[in-house]
Amino acid sequence: MSDDLLFMPATTAAALIRARKLSPVEYTEAVLRAMHQAQPALNCFAEIIDHDAHNAARDAEAAVMDGRPLGPLHGVPIHIKDLLNVAGVPTRHGSAIFAEAAPAAADDLLVARLRAAGAIIVAKTATPEFGVKGLTDGPGFGITRNPWNLGRTPGGSSGGCAAAVAAGLAPIGLGTDGAGSIRGPAACCGLVGLKPTLGAVPNEAGRDAFGSNIYAGPLSRTIADAALMHSVLQGPDQNDPWSIGTNHPATLSPALLGHDLAALRIGYIPRCANPRVAADVTANTSASLAAWAAIGAEIEELTDPIDWIEYEGRVLYQSSFAVFGAQYLPHWQNQMDPVTLAFMQRGATFSMADYRNAEYARTGLFRAIQALFRRYDVLVMPTMTRTALDVGHDAANDDIIIDGIPCGITRQGWTSPQYPFNLTGHPALAVPSGFGDDGLPTSIQIVGKWGAETDILRLGALLEHAQPWAQHRPARRG
């Protein structure tokens, strides 16, 4: 089996399939074999969907040979995070509660859109219970590991997806992001991860459609693959009020049209709510900023005092879990993830006044970021404050240690640059910035104006050209 085939971008694979130079059947079979071989080491799949994938690949090949119209992802294997329904496959939500769940009766809207574009669904990827934390492990399935170092986490909650893509087990995967759950795993695994604008990609399954902070988007090895998947996913749906009437066009700001960024203003935010950033992450962030500056971008470090509402964000996040999860406590408490239980217990202590004040604070944060976009075209910051944590890290209680100094739990000390943009709704893109002193990936985050996915993807592509990353591959597992 050729590693070049496994690490081939989706855009390249789709072009070869259209030209009848790559068989969807042979491609899918190669990916499935590699998935089975790597699964014992990585534990990144909730289920590998062999039978349906083989049938879909045969149908895809017949469509090519018959000269039928082909979608942009025709014949390309992809996987879906196990919080979204795939018809005929159980949705287990990373939880022992749903270990014996019946197969889903229908595809989630986004899965249906991917199938309509020709994608072949090959697996459901692992997630922590209900996507609650920034590591991917749980009593229901064990520990998902980072292909760059099996002793480290791939992040969470789209950690199974990130581990699989980084290991060459399908070129793209669909993740979800409630407080950084696409961008964190992308950072841990050296990938591209896009959290779109609120409403750009509909959230059919969301329990709180109006107060949503949950997004769906791609994890990939290249900017072009992320852009391709996003183009398939976006567009309105009647069940998501934020998406109705919003069909963000793929326009590009004039400042980003060429390779001269002289008209582009970048606001650099060294820290958000986090007290520290590791020296290697800071060095790689500076190198990325220098790459943009070398082609003309104006970069200004922000000194504005911004309230990143870490406490209020936690009120919104944990109290929602407390209410949603209460139904499971009488029968399932002893089989639930201790981190889920800890977050629920903390969330239950917040009052109605705490919750309403947190909602007001969310509006205040949105307006503060909007004010920054009157001065800057994009905002840039480290995606994570350090490289991937050890797999045994306790997300509810253990401090993040940076340069030997405790910096609070994960959302305070590690993922602080991520959750604010779930609350404000702005699009955010994580892209690789290099490798840390421990040999694990580091990442930089690009945040854009509402609807400006094309801008942040273009800026990411210019960095990808200046300091390429997709040629780096972890050791094969299995």
Position 231 confidence tier, pLDDT thresholds 50, 70, 90 = very high
235-282 per-position pLDDT tens digit: 999 999 999 977 666 789 999 999 999 999 999 999 999 999 999 999
Contact 279, 285 (CB under 8 A): no
Q: What is the pLDDT of residues 140-177, one digit of tens each?
A: 899 999 999 999 999 999 999 999 999 999 999 999 99
Residue with tokens 């909730």: 46
* Average pLDDT value for residue range 308-318: 97
Main-chain dihedrals φ then ψ at residue 14, nearest 5 degrees: -65, -40
How would you label 217-247 residue by residue, b for 16+ Cβ within 10 Å and e otherwise? bbbbbbbbbbbbbbbbbbebbeebebbeebe
Per-residue pLDDT reduced to its tens digit, 91-101? 999 999 999 99
The verdict on residue 472 lying in a domain is no
CA distance linking residue 261 with residue 320, whole number of Å: 42
> What is the total count of domains within the chain?
1
Please name the helix (run of DSSP H) or strand (run of DSSP E) that holds residue 63, with its range, or none: helix 50-66
Looking at the whole model, is its pTM more than 0.95?
A: yes
pLDDT in tens, 383-402: 999 999 999 999 999 999 99
Residue 207, domain member (yes or no): yes
d(CA 6, CA 220): 13
Contact 427, 417 (CB under 8 A): no
Phi, psi of 285 (to 5 degrees): -65, -45
Worst-scoring range by mean pLDDT, 127-131, 251-255, 454-458?
A: 251-255
**Catalytic residue numbers?**
81, 157, 181
* Residue 473 belongs to a domain: no
Asked whether 133 and 116 are in contact (CB, 8 A), the reply is: no
Helix (H) or strand (E) holding 13, with range, is helix 10-18
For 93, phi then psi, to 5°, come to 55, 25
Give pLDDT, residue 478: 79
Rounded mean pLDDT, 109-125:
98
Q: Which two tokens stand for residue 102?
A: 């019946």
Average pLDDT, the chain: 97
- Residue 476 inside a domain? The answer is no
Is the sign of the CA dihedral 298, 275, 434, 143 positive or negative?
negative
Q: How far is CA 246 from CA 120, 204, 235, 241, 478, in A?
A: 28, 15, 7, 10, 45
Q: For the chain, how many residues are written?
A: 478
**Would 440 be classed as within a structural domain?**
yes
* Residue that is written with structure tokens 């300091």 in the block: 467
**What is the Cα–Cα distance from 258 to 263, expressed in whole angstroms?**
10
Report the C-alpha gap between 349 and 256 in whole angstroms.
47
The residue range of the domain holding 119 is 3-466
Q: How far apart are CA 148 and CA 444, in angstroms?
A: 18
b vs e for 259-295, b when ≥16 Cβ sit within 10 Å of the residue's Cβ?
A: eebeebebbbbebbbbebbbebbbebbebbbebbeeb
- Spatial separation of the C-alpha atoms in residues 31 and 167, rounded to whole Å: 11
Would residue 477 count as lying in a domain?
Answer: no
Tokens describing residue 360:
């007001």
Q: How large is the average pLDDT for residues 126-136?
A: 98
CATH number of the domain residue 256 falls in = 3.90.1300.10
Task: Take residue 41 and report the two structure tokens written for it.
Answer: 């080491």
Q: How many CB atoms within 10 Å of residue 131?
A: 24
Q: Is the pLDDT of residue 322 over 90?
A: yes
The DSSP bridge pattern shows strands 77-81 and 192-195 to be unpaired
- For residue 475, being part of any structural domain is answered with no
Kind of pairing, strands 298-301 and 265-268? parallel
- Is residue 471 situated within a structural domain? no
Contacts 24+ apart (CB under 8 A), 359-364: 359/211, 359/316, 361/307, 361/309, 361/312, 362/309, 362/312, 362/313, 362/316, 362/423, 362/424, 364/307, 364/309
Least Cα distance to 438 among 374, 367, 386 occurs for 386
User: Which residues, including other chains, have CB under 8 Å from residue 459's CB and lie 6 or more apart?
Assistant: 256, 264, 292, 378, 446
